[in-house]
Amino acid sequence: MTNVVVKIEKSGNRFNAWDVDGNKYTSEIGTGTRKKAYDKGMALERRINKSGKPYWWSVPMSVFESTSAPVIDTSSVDVPSDHAEVLNFIHSSYKLKPKGLVMSELKWKFLVRSAVRGKNMLMTGPAGCGKTMAAKSLVNAMDRPDFYFNLGATQDPRSTLIGNTHFDKKDGTYFSESLFVKAIRTPNAVILLDELSRAHPDAWNILMTVLDNGQRYLRLDEADGAETVSVAEGVTFVATANVGNEYTSTRVMDKALMDRFIVVEMDVLTSDEEYGLLKYMFPHVDESLLESVASITTTTRSESKSETGRITNGVSTRTSVEVAGLLYDGFGLDEAAEVSIYPQFSDDGGLESERTYVKQLVQKYISDGSSEDLFNEDEIENANSMS
């Protein structure tokens, strides 16, 4: 479990907990703990005890501020009903976007408008481009009840989306509803369906009627006359997906399921945008190093799209952020690339492999461009054995 530091913001009578990416942790922390931290001007850090269970510990606000990450305006946002007010809300909503989310004003406004109008949204784009962050940022900006489900990690769709049947000697057979059933019964809820493209096809089948604007119900059993649960008024679904055969473990999504969404395609960042994001998140890292990371990242993406490209995929923004984080923690660029970038590329083919190309690219930014110490002894031995 990764370390998390949150800041407490008061909104009305609520004490909300936000991390540096604008993710809400309110439900994970007791009300008393949140209020006490707010009253004392302290942040809260999630730690793990000896038994492996998480707990929240008060830390100075400087610990939160040192992460150099965005904190969005968490004041209560009431979605208006009058059309003039709706227009004003949509077109002034860009101020609600976290600074750490690189997304055009047009697409952000389109996201907010779709949520206000109750549309189902499908965020698509390359792995690590910020789909999940954009979806979570939208949820936070709307300040509505929210629920998160990682469908890509679900092995039992029926249990996750419907519930389980149990047997008790005293009470006999009984049915326990899933959190998803609770979610769709919650008026105005925003439900995030992460990694929909990696979900089991059974999950897609279960969701068909839920996402269909003409039906909007969940059948609890396949039998005729089985109980159904209607989707509450104002519920919005936001899903994320890697769409395309180039993504490992990604299934080709059913066309009928795709048609139930408005598709919002995330843009791949330019070199300047990549650098701007890294500089915002890690202002104390040497600018030339961050420029190198941004250049390496965008060059691999361009190469992967070229007809004569030597690699099949580029370095994601998620990976470039990880590399910058390693630089911040004292790793060299060569060390960061060794553990974070190179493992993503195949070394099949020896000196003609994808990994060799990427190593040669990185080498341009960590030395005078020579190939000295480019490969370790095992790689040199493997290359010689193939020649």
Q: Do residues 83 and 217 share a domain? A: yes
Q: Do residues 159 and 300 share a domain? A: no
User: Do residues 375 and 359 touch, judged by C-beta distance below 8 A?
Assistant: yes
Q: Do residues 281 and 362 share a domain? A: yes
Tell me the two tokens of residue 198. 């990696």
What is the structure's pLDDT at 286? 93
Cα separation of 235 and 216, whole Å? 10
Q: Do residues 295 and 234 share a domain? A: no
Task: Please say which residue of 218, 243, 265 terminates a domain.
Answer: 265
Q: Do residues 370 and 256 share a domain? A: no
What is the structure's pLDDT at 265? 87
Task: Please report, to the nearest 10 degrees, the dihedral formed by the alpha carbons of residues 324, 328, 334, 340 taken in order.
Answer: -50
Cα separation of 373 and 371, whole Å? 6
Cα separation of 47 and 119, whole Å? 38
Those residues whose C-beta lies under 8 Å from the C-beta of residue 383, and which sit 6 or more positions away, are 350, 351, 375
Query: Do strands 146-150 and 4-11 pair parallel, antiparallel, or not at all (unpaired)?
Result: unpaired
**Residue 56: strand, helix, or coil:** strand
Closest among 336, 337, 325, 333 to 367, alpha carbons compared: 333
| Beta carbons within 10 angstroms of residue 109's beta carbon | 16
What is the structure's pLDDT at 79? 53
The upper half-sphere exposure of residue 49, i.e. CA atoms within 13 Å in the direction of its Cβ, equals 6
Q: Do residues 331 and 260 share a domain? A: no
pLDDT in tens, the chain (387 residues): 556 888 898 876 788 888 776 677 888 898 899 999 998 989 898 887 777 788 888 888 877 766 544 433 444 445 555 777 778 888 888 888 887 788 888 888 998 888 888 889 998 887 777 888 888 888 888 778 889 999 988 888 888 999 886 666 666 656 688 999 999 999 989 999 998 988 888 999 999 999 998 899 998 876 666 678 999 998 999 999 886 444 444 556 778 888 899 998 888 888 998 999 899 889 999 999 999 999 999 999 999 888 888 888 889 888 999 999 999 999 999 999 999 999 999 888 878 899 999 999 999 998 644 444 445 545 445 544 544
CATH number for the domain including 147? 3.40.50.300
User: Do residues 347 and 379 touch, judged by C-beta distance below 8 A?
Assistant: yes
Edge-to-edge strand list for the sheet holding 236-241:
146-150, 190-194, 236-241, 121-124, 262-265
Count of structural domains, the chain: 3
Give whole-number Cα distances, 135 to 9, 224, 310, 347, in Å: 21, 36, 33, 35
Cα separation of 127 and 89, whole Å? 31
Cα separation of 194 and 149, whole Å? 6
What is the structure's pLDDT at 239? 92
Which structural domain, as residue segments, surrounds residue 22?
1-76
What do you get for the CA distance between the two ends of the chain, in Å? 45
Q: Do residues 209 and 333 share a domain? A: no
**How far from chain centre, in Å, is Cα 287?**
26
Task: Please say which residue of 55, 76, 97 terminates a domain.
Answer: 76
Q: Do residues 64 and 82 share a domain? A: no
Supply the Cα-derived Rg of the chain in whole angstroms.
24
Those residues whose C-beta lies under 8 Å from the C-beta of residue 64, and which sit 6 or more positions away, are 5, 6, 7, 20, 43
Q: Do residues 26 and 7 share a domain? A: yes
Q: Is the pTM of this model over 0.95?
A: no
**Residue 340: strand, helix, or coil:** helix
Task: Please report the beta strands in the chain, taking only residues with DSSP state E, as ranges in sequence order.
Answer: 4-11, 14-18, 43-48, 54-59, 121-124, 146-150, 163-168, 172-177, 190-194, 217-219, 228-230, 236-241, 262-265
What is the structure's pLDDT at 321? 92
With vertex at residue 181, the alpha carbon angle to CA 175 and CA 187, rounded to the nearest 5 degrees, is 140
Give residue 232's region: left, alpha or beta (phi > 0; psi -120 to 50).
beta
Tokens 């004569």 belong to which residue? 308
Task: Please say which residue of 244, 265, 286 terminates a domain.
Answer: 265
DSSP 344: G
Closest among 126, 119, 203 to 157, alpha carbons compared: 203
**Residue 300: strand, helix, or coil:** helix
Q: Do residues 201 and 307 share a domain? A: no
Q: Do residues 124 and 163 share a domain? A: yes
Q: Do residues 119 and 36 share a domain? A: no
Edge-to-edge strand list for the sheet holding 43-48:
14-18, 4-11, 43-48, 54-59
What is the structure's pLDDT at 168? 66
